[in-house]
């Protein structure tokens, strides 16, 4: 059974958000977490290259990502719920580095993840922060100039 590229990437985001949450909470090595996901999770319908990219690049840029998030949030990074933090870091990275992914897709996928894993109002908070981030990081795209 084949899966669309969009769905495979969506599945990769879901797994990456879970893995980044695990990394944040446990402090375990990223390579170990990645191996664990491949052994214990069904990765058949996941864009594993995209999963790998997100899992390794978000932590590599975590200081920059946290600073960007802090600039557009009324909460400090260390005050964020760990689930919200994982989703925001992932999404901020995508807005910053994955310009092939439309900004509306990044925000929509993040809201879906927040509704799936976050608290009742996480999706609204994440939407607000990412909307501000997109206006900074994707100015040209939002203005409709390519």
Q: What is the mean pLDDT of the chain?
A: 95
CB atoms within 10 A of CB 86: 25
Segment 18-41 mean pLDDT: 97
pTM assigned to the model? 0.93
**Can you read off the two tokens belonging to residue 89?**
């870091």
Q: What is the domain partition of the chain in residue ranges? A: 5-143
Segment 108-135 mean pLDDT: 97
Of the candidate CATH numbers 3.30.43.10, 1.10.940.10, 1.10.3720.10, 1.10.230.10, the domain formed by 5-143 belongs to 1.10.940.10
Q: What are the pLDDT digits (tens) for 15-24?
A: 999 999 999 9
Q: What are the pLDDT digits (tens) for 38-91?
A: 999 999 999 999 999 999 999 999 999 999 999 999 987 778 999 999 999 999
Cβ-Cβ contacts under 8 Å for 34 (sequence gap 6 or more)? 19, 51, 52, 55, 56
Is residue 19 a contact partner of residue 25, using CB atoms and an 8 Å limit? Answer: no
pLDDT at 1 over 50: no
Instruction: Assign 146 a pLDDT band (cuts: 50, 70, 90).
Output: low
């Amino acid at each position: 059974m084949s899966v669309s590229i969009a769905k495979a990437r969506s599945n990769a985001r879901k797994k990456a958000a879970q893995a980044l949450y695990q990394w944040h909470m446990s402090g375990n090595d990223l390579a170990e977490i990645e191996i664990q996901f491949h052994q214990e999770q069904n990765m058949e319908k996941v864009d594993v290259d995209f999963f790998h990219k997100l899992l390794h690049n978000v932590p590599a840029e975590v200081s920059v990502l946290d600073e960007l998030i802090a600039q557009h949030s009324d909460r400090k990074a260390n005050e964020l719920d760990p689930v919200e933090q994982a989703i925001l870091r992932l999404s901020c990275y995508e807005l910053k580095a994955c310009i092939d992914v439309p900004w509306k897709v990044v925000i929509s996928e993040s809201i879906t993840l927040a509704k799936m894993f976050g608290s009742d109002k996480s999706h609204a908070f994440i939407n607000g922060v990412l909307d501000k981030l997109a206006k900074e990081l994707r100015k040209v795209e939002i203005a409709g100039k390519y």
